[in-house]
Amino acid sequence: MTPAALLFRLRALIVLFALAAVFAWMSPAFLTAGNLTILVKHVAINAILAVGMTFVILSGGIDLSVGSVAGLAGIIAGGLLHSGLVLRPAGVVVYFHSWLVVVLALLAGALVGAANGLLVAQLRVAPFIATLGSLYAARGAALLISNGATFPNLAGRPELGNTGFLSLGAGAFLGLPVPIWLMLAFATAGAFLAGRTPFGRRVYAVGGNERAAVLSGVRVKQVKFAVYVISGFCAAMVGLIIAAQLASAHPATGETFELNAIAAVVLGGTSLMGGRGSIGGTIIGAFVIGVLADGLILLGVSEFWQIVIKGLVIIAAVILDQMQQQYTRRMAAALRS
């Protein structure tokens, strides 16, 4: 591998260390244990969302609905914990155990992902349009369930057997917050699935050249369906973590989260054209966004400027990706000649 190719491949990691060094030099509070813990907790939310997005983009698609799915999952969990399931014909209210609430919310996220997968794979709707529609539908459903209000106090009640939900976002295990453990679990599972299983190889094949994948016997429709289910599941987990951290659920949760997830994937080196990238790169991309946001806050930079800077960073990442592709093509042409 040439030095230029190595620099292109490690660009996200180089940027991450450079940002960390600059912010550590400019703000003594950056490297404190408390700040780093908060930083990684914030990164965990974006990273889990981006793991699912990576599979979608690797297959050549896009999922704009993940932020709304996170909000919908949080509202479903909040409603079941706060108000229970009202069975009007029977005149009773059913309260579920917190673990069952989590399962039901995750299932709801996976079902929205399945709907996206059916639209894209079976009905051949463009991923951008299909998931844009799901973005509005999921957000509208969250508003309908809650009537636009917040479900507060999700700690549950012992007599109803629905306590323990808040530990998902505010608990700790072996000294580390639970969201960080969840990030590690999702990242490890995602990396194994993408890099060590036949399914992962099929995802890369579909994103790299869908026609060639069909001719090779890959069940393209099933692969596309599966990646959207994975994305919906990851989005639902993010919604649950946020609801647990805030001890409340609001239908507006997750707005613009899809942009952060896509940014993390692109910064991590995954091609928007599909077929090239990795879960490890995505996690690094999520840390780049997290470090950038945290450092700018510590330096007192205006929130408006933070948005501008984040946008410029994403544009730079896409330009570098295009440069990498052009360099790779030139090197391949030189080797053939």
| Mean per-residue pLDDT over the chain, rounded | 90
Structural domains of the chain, ranges and CATH numbers in brackets:
3-329 (1.10.3470)
| 119-127 mean pLDDT | 95
Nearest 5 degrees, angle CA 187-CA 188-CA 194? 85
pLDDT reported for residue 80? 92
User: Using an 8 Å Cβ cutoff, are 89 and 24 in contact?
Assistant: no
Q: Check residue 122 and give its pLDDT.
A: 93
pLDDT tens-digit map of 39-82: 999 999 999 999 999 999 999 999 999 999 999 999 999 999 98
Gap between the Cα atoms of 237 and 28, Å rounded = 34
- The pLDDT tens digits for 227-260 are 999 999 999 999 999 999 999 999 999 888 998 8
Query: pLDDT tens-digit profile of 128-171?
Result: 999 999 999 999 999 999 998 899 888 888 888 888 889 999 88
Looking at the chain, the whole-number percentage of residues with pLDDT higher than 70 is: 98
pLDDT in tens, 2-45: 776 677 677 788 889 999 999 999 988 998 988 999 999 999 99
The amino acid present at 215, given as its one-letter code, is L
Which of 193, 210, 218 has the alpha carbon at shortest distance from 127? 210
User: Cβ contacts of residue 155 below 8 Å, gap of 6+?
Assistant: 163, 165, 166, 247
78-114 pLDDT, tens digit each: 999 988 887 877 778 888 889 999 999 999 999 999 9
Q: What is the pTM of this model?
A: 0.92
The pLDDT, as a whole number, for residue 322 is 77
